[in-house]
């Protein structure tokens, strides 16, 4: 993998960690533990993201006879936890704070176990090379969880002066995200040319759409939770996916990175009709209740 691509991946990971930390600073302990206190909702989210999504990836790889970079990209994308950018967009779209932040924290914590186990299971089913190395998933999962866990004291929140730093951290994280993503666009363009015509782009699009449908179906009775889990199931952690690919498949790192970026771009474009439909449905059903608690940096953006 070229050195400049490694630097871009490092910048992406730093930006994502900053945004996790910023969101955690402004969240309450009750929000972070929301899904752990509701086993049915937690199980549905695990079923959608960590069981059904990998199964879909395996079926696509086998059905379309995918090989090489795109098959690896599907595998690593299928097991990554909820990306930290997702909460901000969903909170602005009207989803419940406690459910959205509960998804972020629970899946970051559970990734310590679920990520290596799922990767080994997928490698066994696909009969590929040996299981992917565990340190990538364990170290990143622990880092995301610890960043969130440090956010609360015994009272359930941090002092106001600490919470006021959240918008600044989010801004720095967003700037770093753009800086890390821009160098990957030419890689995605070259990968698009290399992968087009053999079903690879179709597989990435189908994986995203199927994940969204599964999340919507398993999201539970609340309409806003269906929206949140649909987007969460189709959203994948790009920094962690790139890290796993770099460690285990360095010889194909550039093409895998391109496939991951293509997936992210497809997710943004293909999610637009779904989000518009859900927002229109939310407007029709909206009631004049007071908005729920929002972390600093999100205030005034819930609706």
45 found inside a domain: yes
- CA 99/CA 231 separation, integer angstroms: 13
76 found inside a domain: yes
The answer to whether the CB of 180 falls within 8 A of the CB of 12 is yes
The answer to whether the CB of 167 falls within 8 A of the CB of 17 is no
- Provide the residue range defining the domain that includes 244: 3-282
Beta strands in 248-290 (DSSP E): none
- CA 258/CA 256 separation, integer angstroms: 5
Compute how many other C-beta atoms are within 10 angstroms of the C-beta atom of residue 42.
18
The CA-atom distances, in angstroms, between 194 and each of 62, 68, 69, 270 are 20, 12, 10, 22
Both tokens of 135, joined, read 């340190």
288 found inside a domain: no
User: pLDDT tens string for the chain (303 positions)?
Assistant: 566 556 666 766 676 666 666 666 666 778 888 999 999 999 999 999 999 999 999 999 999 888 788 888 999 999 988 876 666 667 666 788 889 888 888 888 888 899 889 988 988 888 754 444 433 333 344 334 433 333 334 344 444 444 444 555 555 655 666 665 666 667 666 676 667 777 888 999 999 999 999 999 999 899 999 999 999 999 888 777 877 877 778 777 778 888 888 888 888 899 999 988 888 887 776 655 545 545 545 554 444
190 found inside a domain: yes
- Quote the number of domains for the chain: 1
> Which CATH number belongs to the domain containing residue 52 in this structure?
1.20.1530.20
99 found inside a domain: yes
114 found inside a domain: yes
122 found inside a domain: yes
Compute how many other C-beta atoms are within 10 angstroms of the C-beta atom of residue 285.
9
302 found inside a domain: no
- CA 231/CA 208 separation, integer angstroms: 9
Both tokens of 265, joined, read 């771009």
The answer to whether the CB of 112 falls within 8 A of the CB of 80 is no
């Amino acid at each position: 993998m070229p050195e400049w691509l490694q630097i871009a991946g490092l910048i992406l990971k730093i930006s994502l960690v900053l945004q996790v930390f910023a969101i955690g600073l402004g969240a309450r302990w009750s929000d972070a533990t929301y899904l752990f206190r509701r086993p049915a909702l937690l199980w549905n989210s695990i079923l959608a993201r960590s069981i059904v999504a990998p199964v879909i990836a395996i079926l696509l790889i086998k059905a379309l006879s995918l090989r090489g970079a795109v098959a690896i990209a599907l595998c690593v994308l299928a097991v990554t936890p909820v990306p930290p950018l997702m909460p901000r967009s969903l909170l602005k779209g009207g989803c419940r704070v406690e459910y959205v932040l509960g998804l972020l924290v629970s899946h970051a914590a559970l990734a310590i176990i679920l990520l290596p186990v799922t990767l080994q299971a997928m490698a066994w089913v696909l009969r590929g090379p040996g299981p992917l190395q565990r340190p990538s998933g364990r170290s990143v999962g622990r880092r995301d969880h610890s960043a969130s866990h440090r956010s609360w004291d015994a009272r359930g929140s941090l002092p106001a002066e600490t919470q006021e730093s959240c918008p600044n951290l989010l801004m720095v994280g967003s700037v770093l995200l753009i800086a890390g993503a821009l160098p990957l666009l030419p890689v995605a363009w070259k990968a698009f040319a290399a992968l087009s015509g053999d079903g690879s782009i179709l597989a990435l699009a189908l994986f995203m759409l199927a994940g969204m449908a599964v999340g919507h179906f398993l999201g539970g009775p609340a309409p806003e939770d269906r929206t949140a889990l649909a987007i969460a199931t189709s959203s994948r952690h790009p920094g962690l996916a790139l890290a796993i690919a770099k460690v285990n498949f360095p010889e194909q790192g550039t093409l895998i990175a391109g496939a991951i970026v293509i997936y992210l771009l497809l997710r943004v474009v293909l999610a637009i009709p779904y989000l518009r439909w859900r927002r229109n449905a939310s407007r029709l059903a909206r009631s004049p209740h007071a908005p729920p608690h929002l972390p600093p940096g999100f205030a005034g953006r819930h609706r």
